[in-house]
Amino acid sequence: MKKLIVLLVAIALLLPAGSSFVSAQGGPFDGKTPEELFPNAIDDMERQSAWDALMAANLPDARDRFSGQKLTIGVLASGTRGVISGPVYFWREAFEAVTGAELEIIEIPFDQMLTTLTVDFSTNQNTYDAIINASWFYGDYISNGWIIPIDDYINAEGYPKWEPDKVAAPLRQLLQWEGKWYGVVNDGDTQMFYYRRDILEDPKWQAAYQEEMGEPMVVPPRTWQQVYKIAKFFNGKDWNGDGDPDDGISLHLKVGGQGFFHFMSLSAPFAITPAEGDDPTKVTKYDNIYWFDPDDMTPVINSPGHVKALEFLKELAATGSQSQFGWDLGEAWNNFLTGNAVLLFSWGDVGSLAQDPNSSTIKGKLGGAPIPCSEVWYDRETGQFVEDPENPNCVGNLVGASWHGVISSRSDNPDLAYYFLAMQATRPILFWNVVYGWTGVDPSSTTHLFPPAGEATVQDYVNAGYDAGDVESYITAYGQNLFNFPTTQTYLRIPGTPEYWNILDMRLAQAMVGELSPQEALDQVAQEWEEITDDIGRDYLLEIYQASIGYTPAE
């Protein structure tokens, strides 16, 4: 009971100024119980904390406007307790109570999502009012007019209040297109680095590392080259004391297992250069470019920087289990969370899942750091590699889906669709989704981050059941990942993005198992990307690509 009380206090403290608790008496929740509103909760703690967040959200009673209407929402197929889809199911009864509407949830498999939605829009089936979508869908959506801007809804009376200005600035751009808001915040993705804090900070292991490697262990490692040395040292040693040799790093390299996202974040500092001058983030022909030449859509994925990164990834993979080549994302996470690998890099889910005793044995032992930099990188403008261990090249990332809601331009109920999406984005409900790791909703806003990046506190998370040392390391690193790097890897948001990425995924896997050399694999990727570009239309794609990355061609 004490834990429930402090969680309620934490949610109250997270409310925007002027907000107040809504009484369940006399309103849309009159006579409703937590059991009725949250049938998918697994225990009383989860159910009661959700009730507290719902009361704190101060949702407007909208039954007079929406009773009898039906909202159909498309979402990632993960089930009632799965990532991204789970929260939609979890809050359904509360939404239906406050609006009087019916919520229909249609799950769509990850690898079929854009195809399914494209067919639905193109054939005028118009099945969905709203979609919890991946950020890379925008190129298709915007160019075809399939979703609507939401600027007129934001701050309008009669809708739940969320805080666009609190969305972390790098993530905010993924919810917008050419200055207009299209998305309502939900999940926020950036990849960071995780390590076993108890092992790397142990003086015994630090002394053993120095003796074997001839240099002090850097904790946490700042560069990929330092990561490799640490992973190599620990791989094959029984550092967790279970009597079996353990892994240095945990990777997932199976086709379809989302490993290509991790190659993106790893390879960025090998392949991207910041712009010269006062604004290192400026996109030029050579700087802050990862995907294509912004003047003609020629792929740069097979540039020497990308190739060197893939060669490095093969070396890094040798410091982990041979089973990695058949692992998907969940298997790699599980290997780390159950104490069998000392290092991992991935999304924010790991930080929250590490606190769940149902999925983790390492609560109280987790360390977090920003995604590593590289001591070696390729400058496309000069055509030469640069090597500077003292001043490594650092590039942030927004790698991942950053799943969030958009409204179909074909919807008969756009107002109802916005109400649901805004409800999920209210400060108390969004914070609840973030702290419960099973939801797949990662930190996205300054209300989830620690100063100076944000305004949350360690105690906010401790009140929700987190270990203080774990969350201080994890959330601090998450904020650094979003705000502290001089530049951030550009996000690909053009028509055909899933097809481009599917090819990259397949060829990376071939390189990792030795079917192709890294150069051969990426050369093949570039060739197949050229074919896709020509098939869709080079001039058509070039205009969208330039707009999506903020590039202005030289006159």
Domain that holds residue 542: 497-549
Over the stretch 447-487, which tens digit does the pLDDT of each residue have?
999 999 899 999 999 988 999 999 999 999 999 999 999 99
- Spatial separation of the C-alpha atoms in residues 29 and 463, rounded to whole Å: 26
Q: Which amino acid is at 38?
A: F
| Residue 554, domain member (yes or no) | no
Q: Are 133 and 25 found together in one domain?
A: yes
217-243 mean pLDDT:
97
CB 422 within 8 A of CB 162: yes
| Residue 247, domain member (yes or no) | yes
**pTM for the full model?**
0.92
Q: What mean pLDDT, rounded, does the chain reach?
A: 93
**Does residue 190 surpass a pLDDT of 90?**
yes
Give the model's confidence band at 25: pLDDT under 50 very low, under 70 low, under 90 confident, else very high.
Answer: low
Q: Which residues contact 268 (CB under 8 A, 6 or more apart)?
A: 290, 395, 397, 489
| Residue 178, domain member (yes or no) | yes
**Does residue 517 surpass a pLDDT of 50?**
yes
| Residue 470, domain member (yes or no) | no
Least confident stretch, 109-113, 298-302, 344-348, 521-525: 109-113
Number of H helices, E strands in the chain: 23, 12
CATH number of the domain where residue 374 is located: 3.40.190.10
Q: What is the DSSP letter of 147?
A: B
Q: Are 21 and 130 found together in one domain?
A: yes
ω into 269 cis (within 30 of 0) = no
Residue entry with tokens 């750091």: 369
Q: Are 79 and 210 found together in one domain?
A: no
Q: Are 280 and 304 found together in one domain?
A: yes
Least confident stretch, 103-107, 168-172, 466-470: 168-172
How many folded domains does the chain comprise? 3
Q: Are 151 and 255 found together in one domain?
A: no
Q: Are 19 and 48 found together in one domain?
A: yes
Q: Are 106 and 180 found together in one domain?
A: yes
Q: Are 266 and 167 found together in one domain?
A: no
Query: Which tokens in the block code for residue 315?
Result: 């070396």
| Residue 56, domain member (yes or no) | yes
Over the stretch 363-414, which tens digit does the pLDDT of each residue have?
999 999 999 999 999 999 999 999 999 999 999 999 999 999 999 999 999 9
Cα angle: 189, vertex 191, 194; to 5 degrees? 130
Give the model's confidence band at 26: pLDDT under 50 very low, under 70 low, under 90 confident, else very high.
Answer: low
| Residue 468, domain member (yes or no) | no
| Residue 79, domain member (yes or no) | yes
- Spatial separation of the C-alpha atoms in residues 262 and 308, rounded to whole Å: 15
Q: Which residues contact 527 (CB under 8 A, 6 or more apart)?
A: none
For the chain, give the longest Cα–Cα distance. Answer: 73
Q: Are 240 and 307 found together in one domain?
A: yes
Cα angle: 520, vertex 525, 531; to 5 degrees? 130
- Spatial separation of the C-alpha atoms in residues 74 and 453, rounded to whole Å: 33
| Residue 463, domain member (yes or no) | no
Q: Are 264 and 360 found together in one domain?
A: yes
Q: Are 292 and 372 found together in one domain?
A: yes
Q: Are 43 and 164 found together in one domain?
A: yes
Residue entry with tokens 């009597």: 243
